[in-house]
Amino acid sequence: MQHGGNITRYQREWGWSREEMVDFSANLNPLGPPVSVMQAIQQALPRIVDYPDPLGQDVLSALAKKWALPESHFLLGNGAAELIFLAMRLIRPRRVATVAPAFREYEQAARVEGAEIVRVPLTAETGFAVEPEPLMRVLHEVDMLVLANPNNPTGRCVEPAILDRLLAAAKEMDKWLLVDEAFLDFLPDDETRSLISQVPVADKLVVIRSLTKFFAIPGIRIGYVAAAEQAIPKMRELQIPWSVNTLAQAAAAAGLADADFQRSTIEWLQIEREYLAQRLRDKGYRVVPSDANFLLVQRDDVEIGKWWPKLAAKGLFVRDCRSFAGLDGTYFRIAVRTRAENQRLLDALE
């Protein structure tokens, strides 16, 4: 099982209707999609008879306003995954360093371009925190360092001082730094933590963002990359034409303008994540401290290969973490859902 969120498979194999099941395996905002996004999709439906805007001008304008940068620093993509592969295709690094555990597409995209992978292990003893010294050492040996902030599946953010230090070192050594900020918009201090403001002064910095997780629209796929102005046209040349469809563009523009939904999500998450984490700890589970909308959970007597089918039989689907480098069958990952859904999982774990 390489990914969560495989609803079609869950329904086919377990017979649940979509309304009966609760998918904890995909890290999506249970409060969405917001009304503004659904209305924008409905209003855009008549336009599917035309080709989509190849640049996504409405979304680019919204991003330029949000980040106070020229539109020329941004490129839309068919989800963050496409942009990860596109960045690797542009850069074609020979050696790529990434932490482990981490999102497997970093390594997959690098290997497609023939790169060698150097893994820097994160340890349970430190709560899977990213520490600077191992990364500083490996930076001398590679062409590119890839980090997620927050990391998936741990949910941990890289401390701002560490990230600044790594960026300064990468610039000094003339190395590429790719930072995946797919879940950073769930944090109240998103804009101060993000490295997007640094792309005008860091030629080899690439920042990737998702717009599908926060707004709960993974079925229509949209994300964006922020990079130096000279890198964006090169990436666009490598990209499949009309990569982002009309409905996705309409949804993204509406979501970016919906400040009320963004604020309510962040306020909800601060409360519900702590509630779920504490209840799990009360039941004897170890919960990695998370800054994101999901939790990495561990217990020595868990055998996820046996537990997963038992939870699935109750209509509950969690993320089996054995496909993440460095994690074994005692780990699973769960999205933070609504209170009623979280309680249903907690009851099942009894």
| 300-315 tens-digit pLDDT | 999 999 999 999 999 9
137 and 230 within one domain? yes
Q: What is the pLDDT of residues 193-221, one digit of tens each?
A: 999 999 999 999 999 999 999 999 999 99
287 and 168 within one domain? no
Final residue in a domain of this structure, among 257, 285, 307: 257
Query: Does residue 51 lie in a domain region?
Result: yes
89 and 22 within one domain? no
What is the total residue count of the chain?
Answer: 350
Q: Which domain holds residue 29?
A: 7-33+259-348
- What is the spatial distance between Cα 160 and Cα 129, in angstroms, rounded to a whole number? 13
Which tops the pLDDT comparison, 46 or 18?
46
Final residue in a domain of this structure, among 220, 236, 257: 257
Ramachandran assignment for 56, one of left (phi > 0), alpha (psi -120 to 50 degrees), beta (any other):
left
319 and 206 within one domain? no
Structural domain total, the chain: 2
Question: Per the confidence metrics, is the pTM higher than 0.85?
Answer: yes
Confidence check: pLDDT of 1 > 60: no
Query: Does residue 183 lie in a domain region?
Result: yes
126 and 233 within one domain? yes
Question: What is the DSSP code (8-state) at residue 251?
Answer: H
Query: Does residue 1 lie in a domain region?
Result: no
Query: Does residue 231 lie in a domain region?
Result: yes
Final residue in a domain of this structure, among 224, 240, 257: 257
232 and 140 within one domain? yes
- The contacts of residue 266 (CB under 8 Å, 6+ apart) are 186, 187, 188
203 and 119 within one domain? yes
The band of 11, judged by pLDDT with boundaries at 50, 70 and 90, is confident
Which of these, 264, 258, 292, 82, lies nearest to 185 by C-alpha position?
292
247 and 332 within one domain? no
- What is the spatial distance between Cα 123 and Cα 156, in angstroms, rounded to a whole number? 12
Is residue 312 classed as helix, strand or coil in its secondary structure?
Answer: helix
- What is the spatial distance between Cα 154 and Cα 195, in angstroms, rounded to a whole number? 20
Query: Does residue 177 lie in a domain region?
Result: yes
The band of 267, judged by pLDDT with boundaries at 50, 70 and 90, is very high
Question: According to DSSP H, which parts of 149-242 are helical?
Answer: 160-173, 190-193, 231-238
Strand order in the sheet with 74-77: 74-77, 223-227, 205-210, 176-180, 144-148, 95-100, 116-121
Q: What is the pLDDT of residues 93-130, one digit of tens each?
A: 999 999 999 999 999 999 999 999 999 999 999 999 99
Radius of gyration of the chain (CA): 20
- What is the spatial distance between Cα 47 and Cα 44, in angstroms, rounded to a whole number? 5
Query: Does residue 2 lie in a domain region?
Result: no
| Site of tokens 């953010």 | 157
Confidence check: pLDDT of 4 > 80: no
Query: Does residue 20 lie in a domain region?
Result: yes
The CATH number linked to 107 is 3.40.640.10
225 and 175 within one domain? yes
268 and 238 within one domain? no
211 and 165 within one domain? yes
What backbone torsions phi and psi does residue 201 show, to the nearest 5 degrees? -115, 10
Query: Does residue 96 lie in a domain region?
Result: yes
The CATH number linked to 278 is 3.90.1150.10
Q: What is the pLDDT of residues 70-79, one digit of tens each?
A: 999 999 999 9
Asked if residues 242 and 55 have their Cβ atoms less than 8 Å apart, the reply is no
- The contacts of residue 166 (CB under 8 Å, 6+ apart) are 132, 135, 136, 139, 145, 147, 158, 177
192 and 108 within one domain? yes
